Structure 1
Amino acid sequence: MSENHDYLRTAGASRLYGDVLLLQLKGAAYAAVVLLALLAGYMVLLGISSLLPPESKEALDPTPTSSLIVEELSPYA
């Protein structure tokens, strides 16, 4: 009988490929958690904005001269 009982090939290059795959999956899971947290925050802000009265969206610009300053600095104006 064969003395090689390493059926899962846990040594050598196969082990390295498995470790790299698991690290990539772990990174993808972290990225998914961050993305879902940002999406949840955005949805909360949308929910809060829908509760505001319509008059709050019709307010005048608090810095009315900011557009004039940008136009003066723009070389293409």
Structure 2
Amino acid sequence: MTTNQEPTLSFEQAMEKLEQIVTQLENGDVPLEKAIELFQEGMKLSQLCGQKLEQVERKIEVLLEDEGSLTKKPFNPDGEKGEAR
């Protein structure tokens, strides 16, 4: 597994690899050295996913600003559920 290919991964590919790593670590049947490598790769993938989500959030905010009549609001996927009460 080469780390210089990670930035070219799509969000979905990175999430799939991350899920595979989590499954391997949860099974607990990997040697300590391999577990550490998997953990480090998982952290990099997690950061990559976070960056990609932030990019999408910024694009959504820009689109909302471009519409003129809409106001820029911070992205909060759970906010509407909590406000419905």
TM-score (norm 1): 0.49
Greater per-residue helix proportion: 2
Q: TM-score, normalised by structure 2?
A: 0.44
Higher RCO by CA contacts (8 Å cutoff, separation 6 or greater)? 2
